[in-house]
Each structure stands twice: as C-alpha cells, then as structure tokens.
C-alpha cells in the first residue's frame, strides 16, 4: 500500500523572532518590546534581591549605596530609564490599538511614542548625571 511521508517540522531557532530582515517597523517594535520586557523582568528580580539587604540593617545597606553612586552604575540607571520608557510607551500603543484606537496609524503612533521616549530619556539622563 501507499507509504505516507510525514511533513518535516521546520526547526525553530531563537534568532528567528529577532530576525528583522525583510520585516517592517512593527517587527522592530515587537523586538524592542520583548528585549525591554525581559530586561525589566530581570531588573525586578535584582531589585527584590537588593531590597532584601535592607532587612540586614545599615551594615548591609551602606556599602550598596556607595556602589550605586558610582558613575558606571548611573549608566545602568539610564538603561533602566530607557527600558521603562520604551516598554511603557510601546505598551500604550498596544493598549490603544487593542481598544481600536489608532490602528490605521500604528506606525506614526509608534514613531511618535519612541520620539517621546528618546526625548524624555535624554532629559532623564541629563538629570541623572548633573543632579
């Protein structure tokens, strides 16, 4: 009788959802959202870990504050700030679209929100390093 050939499942690779070749702006929005989302989740855990040192009193806390004041650490604050802005504002686009708002204008909406993110982020960076 007839032999059946099963279709070959295509291997999925992690880089496939990071592959922006032949894709459009929406793919970049998707990747930015995913990277910032993963970063913020990582930050949340670190934050919990750091807060738990509070329980050990000033002995555990004071050395940490010293590290935080270092310029290289402030740079991480800048990364955090941009992560929050990009994820938050992109999330705003997704939410608005989800309510049927600005669906046709999703590209300009994304660009506009990202301009806000960059401008706000730049001001924030300036404040972080000067205050």
Partner 1 sequence: MSAPHVIVIGAGSTGAATAHDLALRGFRVTVLERGEIANQTTGRNHCLLHSGGRYCVKDQESAIECIDENLILRRIMPEALELNDGLFVAITEEDLAFKQLFVAGCVACHIPYREISPQRALALEPFLNPKLLAAVQVPDGVFEPWRFCLAFLATAKHNGASVRAFAEVTDLLRSGSAVTGVKVRDLRTGQTETLGADLVVNATGPWAGEIAHLGGVDVPVQPTAGVMVTVDRRLNNMVVNRLDKPSDGDIVVPQRQTSIIGTTSWTILDPDQIDIPKDHIDKMIHKGQELIPAIAQRVVRGVGAAARPLIRKANTDEREVSRTFECFDHKYDGVEGFVTISGGKTTTARGMAEKVTDLVAGKLGVSAECRTRTTPLLSYRLFYN
Partner 2 sequence: MAIEVPVKMFRCKAGEAPRFEAHRVSVPDDANVIDVIDAVWRQDNTLMFRHACHHASCGTCAVRVNGYEKLPCIVPVREAMAGQTEMVIEPLRNFPLVGDLVVDVTSFFQKQAASGMVITRAAEPSLDGRAYERAEVFDDAGRLDTRPYNRFENCIECGICLSACPTLSATDRFFGPAGLAAVRRAVQTTPDPRRKSLLLALADSDHGVWQCHSAFECTEACPQDVDPAGAIMALRRELAVRKLKAVFGLGGH
- Tokens 């301009």, residue located: 115
Stretch that binds partner 1, among 2-10, 73-81, 89-97, 102-110 (CB under 8 A): 2-10
Q: How far is the CB of 104 from partner 2 (least distance, A)?
A: 8
**Residue 3 interacting with partner 1 (CB under 8 A):** yes
Q: How many CA atoms within 13 Å lie on the side-chain side of 98?
A: 6
**Residue 24 interacting with partner 1 (CB under 8 A):** no
Using CA atoms, how far apart are residues 28 and 90, in angstroms rounded to an integer?
Answer: 11
How many residues belong to the site for partner 1 (CB under 8 A)? 3
Using CA atoms, how far apart are residues 33 and 27, in angstroms rounded to an integer?
Answer: 10
Using CA atoms, how far apart are residues 125 and 81, in angstroms rounded to an integer?
Answer: 8
Query: Which residues contribute to the site for partner 2 (CB under 8 A)?
Result: 5, 7-10, 12, 16-17, 21-24, 26-27, 29-30, 33-34, 93-94, 97-100, 103-104, 106-107
Query: Which residues contribute to the site for partner 1 (CB under 8 A)?
Result: 2-3, 5
């Amino acid at each position: 009788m007839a032999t059946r050939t099963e279709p070959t499942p295509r291997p999925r690779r992690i880089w496939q959802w990071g592959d922006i070749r032949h894709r459009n702006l929406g793919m970049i929005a998707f990747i930015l959202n995913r990277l910032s989302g993963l970063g913020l989740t990582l930050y949340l855990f670190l934050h919990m870990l750091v807060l738990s040192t509070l329980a050990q009193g000033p002995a555990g806390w004071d050395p940490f504050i010293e590290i935080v004041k270092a310029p290289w650490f402030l740079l991480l604050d800048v990364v955090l700030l941009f992560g929050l802005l990009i994820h938050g504002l992109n999330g705003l686009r997704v939410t608005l679209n989800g309510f049927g708002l600005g669906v046709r204008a999703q590209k300009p909406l994304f660009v506009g929100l990202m301009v806000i993110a960059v401008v706000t982020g730049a001001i924030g960076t300036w404040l972080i390093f000067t205050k």
